[in-house]
Amino acid sequence: MNLLIGDLSCYGQCLRSWAPFIALIVSISIVLISISLILSNPRMKLKLFIFSQTSGILSIALVYYLMECSEMLSLYIYSSYLFASTFIIFATLRYYDRILIRKLGAKPAVSILNWTQEFVSNLTSAKLYYLDSAIPRAFASGRSIFISIGLLEMLDDDELKAVLAHEAWHIKYNSAMPFMKQLALMAFSSSADPELECMADRFAAEVSGSEALLSARNKIDRVFI
């Protein structure tokens, strides 16, 4: 408590003329991060997050430059939070699929259907995993594709190839996508982009045939209607 009181005293002595400007930067940072929590558009979320973090870094740099006190506990705490949160967000893209593998208890699909991994490998460099879930679902993240036991039981081989081709396209698209767009789509939103889904369907139809794709979609849709 004494350290925090000392911090406030030091702020008052060192930042007299600069206090309104620094307060404005900090306020902008807080407002931007608050708005980003409300927005549903993942790209806008990411942009506001970046602007917020940049404002915070600017305010810290300015305060460090102006401060004459050697020990500033509150400043150290805020600096640690700012840099740690930035690192966590940008590290999410690289390791998100590994996090999902542990969280969902996913296992290599080759152990139950040996042809599936080879099929996926011919389309893109990704690992295929299965989930112990009766709900028919499939999704891609990072360099991994996930399918559920429920989906495997529901579809025949041709239909499954269509689904895997669809998810393989997402892997290929993500690897070619600019880093910031990947982060916006993967780290801030799990909702599907209709345009991307249509492009993935076209690719799946080319690989496995439109009949197999349509049949797979009809079976899955009937479960959720």
Lowest pLDDT segment from 81-85, 156-160, 214-218? 81-85
Percentage of residues in the chain having pLDDT higher than 70: 65
**Nearest alpha-carbon partner for 183 in 86, 101, 103, 52:** 86
H or E stretch at 49 = helix 42-66
Question: Which amino acid would we find at residue 159?
Answer: E
Poorest-confidence range of 23-27, 192-196, 197-201, 202-206?
A: 192-196
Each residue's pLDDT tens digit, 42-98: 667 767 777 777 777 777 777 766 665 555 555 666 667 667 766 766 666 567 788
* Token representation of residue 189: 């939103």
Burial of 179 (0-12, 13-18, 19+ CB in 10 A): exposed
Q: How far apart are CA 26 and CA 93, in angstroms?
A: 27
Q: Is pLDDT of 190 > 50?
A: no
| CATH code given to domain 105-224 | 3.30.2010.10
Return d(Cα 200, Cα 204) in angstroms, integer. Answer: 6
169 versus 179: the higher-pLDDT residue is 169
- Identify the pLDDT of residue 117: 95
CB 111 within 8 A of CB 100: no
> Is the pLDDT at 199 greater than 80, yes or no?
yes
More confident residue, 171 or 184: 171
CA distance 80 to 98: 25
Residue 102's closest CA among 72, 68, 144? Answer: 144
pLDDT at 39 over 80: no
- Percent of the chain residues topping a pLDDT of 90: 32
Average pLDDT over residues 131-147: 89
C-alpha 60/C-alpha 47 separation (Å) is 20
**Cα distance between residue 62 and residue 54, in whole Å:** 12
Helices (H), 67-178: 73-104, 114-123, 149-154, 157-176
Q: Which one is predicted more confidently, 121 or 174?
A: 121
Q: Beta 127-131 vs 144-148: how paired, if at all?
A: parallel
Q: What pLDDT does residue 189 have? A: 41
Is residue 19's pLDDT more than 70? Answer: no
Distance CA 220, CA 225 (A): 9
pLDDT value at 40 more than 70: no
Across 23-32, 33-42, 62-71, 207-216, least confident range: 62-71
**SS3 state at 109:** helix
Residue with tokens 């995993």: 129
Of the ranges 23-32, 54-63, 66-75, 215-224, the best mean pLDDT one? 215-224
> Euclidean distance between the first and final Cα of the chain, in Å?
58
Please list the residue range(s) of the chain that carry CATH number 3.30.2010.10: 105-224
In the chain, % helix, strand, coil (3-state, to 5) comes to 75, 5, 20
Q: Whole-number mean pLDDT of the chain? A: 77
Lowest mean pLDDT among 79-93, 146-160, 164-178: 79-93
The confidence score (pLDDT) of residue 223 equals 78
